[in-house]
Chain A
Amino acid sequence: MKILVIVSQTQDTEAKIQVSAGGDSVDTADMKWIMNPYDEFAVEEAIQTKEKHGGEVVIVSIGPARVVDTIRQALAMGADSAVHINGDGFAETDPFAIGKLIASEIKKLGDFDVIFTGMKIIDEESGQVGVQVAEELGIPHVSLVSKVVEINADAKKAVCQKEIDGGHVVVEAPLPCLITCPDAMNEPRYASLPGIMKAKKKPLTEVGIDDISFDGLGFSKEAVSKEGARVKTTGIEVPQIERKLKIIKGSDEPMVKGEEVANAAEELIKLLREDAKVI
């Protein structure tokens, strides 16, 4: 089987974030760059699929030179090769252009069976790139798959479970298809030391912006920038919500004594009624 994974590098949003001087993006100067957490689940699912069915896992990623660290991490986890669409100009474009560029490189890779990618990227959080790629390639997508029940390369189908409001649904999609991955669908493995050593020698193809044919993409090389985006981010703010931090504590932590607990419950209700006025 040929299994593709679209992997992105992202800013570690566990960190504190600050608005840049321009006021329309987040300051990335001291930012740690990590593999998009949802893409870790996608890489893991791809490797497990390979382990079951044989074949190869190809990573596709787009972004500036630093993205190579993330690609190597995916290779160290067990992917076989990678394509890196390398350019700084991509950083501030929109998902529409990103999806088209990724799809156009995927078309050059020949036949494949399945594509995995994260449900969204944790910085922009819009969850569009995956479905955009699927549309561009003319293949079906199944989003937010909680469990891949079965992939059958011979029968050319994938059976996936999705969680929906009030229950779940099991669908069967023909291959090739694209699957987007939430967290908790598997346990992403850590790269082992030998894995990391091997990753350094695995094939990584660099594609520069000048290698891309913009014919048929519907936008020009110049449009791959913030100016060319259909949806432009013009401002960003980090709202500061002041919380009241009124914490009721007992004489012991945690409080255990019957009367103290009853009083605390009473006090909390009073706060919610009189201070917050929500009940």
Chain B
Amino acid sequence: MATATLDLPVELDAEGFLVNPNDWTPEIAEKLAADEGIELTDRHWQVINFVREDFAKTGEPPTLRRITKQSGVSTKELYQLFPKGPAKKVARIAGLGKPKGCI
């Protein structure tokens, strides 16, 4: 992640996630996506919007399985949209915290 070169008006943590999810705007999403080398299309937005709505309900960034089961985007496509670690990338671009792994 080339976070050092990112010029955003909001605070990011060491791994480039928004510290405060309320700081998020669609423009910030565009910039975070660009930082990941992704240009956002409608399909990307379908996922991002789902993830944000779900986070508002549950308070947790959704797992990959939850995204594919509920957003209408298959796992295969998710990997095409957000290559390498979609759950983490979607969470970052959608302005949520890093999805917690399991212990």
Query: Do A and B come from the same complex?
Result: no
Interface residues of A (CB under 8 A from B): none
Interface residues of B (CB under 8 A from A): none
